[in-house]
Amino acid sequence: MFRPNRLKARVLAGERSLGTWLQSGAPTFAEMAAAAGFDFFIIDQEHGLGSLEEAVAMMRAASGGEATVVVRVPSSEPVYLKRLVDAGVEGVLVPMVESAEQARAIVAACRFPPRGTRGNAWDITRSSSYGFAGDYYGRADDNLLIIAQVETATAVENAAEIAAVDGIDVVFIGPTDLSGSIGLPGQTGAPEVEALIARAVEAVRTTGKPLASVPRIGRNWQQVFDDGFVIVATGSEIFYYRTAAQALVEDWRRYRGIEAKNDKAAGGYAG
């Protein structure tokens, strides 16, 4: 439903914002993320599960809180972008943006004419509260947050041009795929990767556009903020559950080992 974009307002004010990833497609976690007090969360539909309908269910689940809802789309394909914007998403994160031309096409898909090519059915879509937000058409373009993800060596070369595109609000540097693009998969703290990140940061800063990223090897989320990034997305519900479950099972196995030893020492059945 249409509401002022709190994350975009924070970005424009130069304020830092912390968020998390949601990859399960489950509305319960969207509700929890909003209740926890995150500034935003990213519904990951590039690597995570979920359809348009599930994204809408997650938006509804989060509507009682103040977290801004961002969707990382599977690709820059314009049809899905247009459907998401009509569905009321507050921000889009587009992966693998490698050129200014691609960035312009992304912006066009998300904006009404004359600034873009988004189809005009605003008075019946969820994005305008089904037409109850009578001033939606005039406010929609500037309320949406559009984030371009720079995550290949080619994208780094074109980072300044991508960032300079009118309508690209934030450039998100993705260290994991960036490392893979130069043959160092997963080595996000490697000197070669750090050098590319530094080049991308410098290129984007020449345009005045803000930066976003994730923690990487050697840089936790606090340090990423200290490096001048204004948006940092850390962890995911799957990551946090996996690590907690793994720790619990390891504790259980240690406990069972002690129990088995005690049983053997007592001459009892060790199971």
List 47, 242, 261, 264, catalytic entry: 47
Q: What local confidence, expressed as pLDDT, does residue 96 receive?
A: 98
DSSP state of 88: T
Give the mean pLDDT of 11-30. 97
Q: Is a pLDDT exceeding 80 seen at residue 266?
A: no
How many Å apart are CA 153 and CA 181, to the nearest integer? 6
H or E, element range at 236: strand 231-236
- DSSP-assigned states of every residue in 9-31: HHHHTT--EEEEEE-S--HHHHH
How many Å apart are CA 124 and CA 43, to the nearest integer? 24
Supply 68's token pair.
Answer: 């801004």
CB atoms within 10 A of CB 35: 13
Question: Model confidence over 151-208: pLDDT tens digits?
Answer: 999 999 999 999 999 999 999 999 999 999 999 999 999 999 999 999 999 999 999 9
Helices (H), ranges, 63-135: 78-87, 100-110
Q: What local confidence, expressed as pLDDT, does residue 261 receive?
A: 75
H or E, element range at 89: none
153 close to 179: Cβ distance less than 8 angstroms: no
For the chain, which domains are there? Answer: 6-242 (3.20.20.60)
Q: What local confidence, expressed as pLDDT, does residue 269 receive?
A: 46
7 close to 18: Cβ distance less than 8 angstroms: no
**Amino acid identity at 263:** D
Q: Compute CA 75 distance to the chain's CA centroid, rounded to the nearest angstrom.
A: 13
How many Å apart are CA 80 and CA 75, to the nearest integer? 9
Q: Are strands 91-94 and 17-22 parallel, antiparallel or unpaired?
A: unpaired
Q: Compute CA 67 distance to the chain's CA centroid, rounded to the nearest angstrom.
A: 12
47 catalytic? Reply is yes
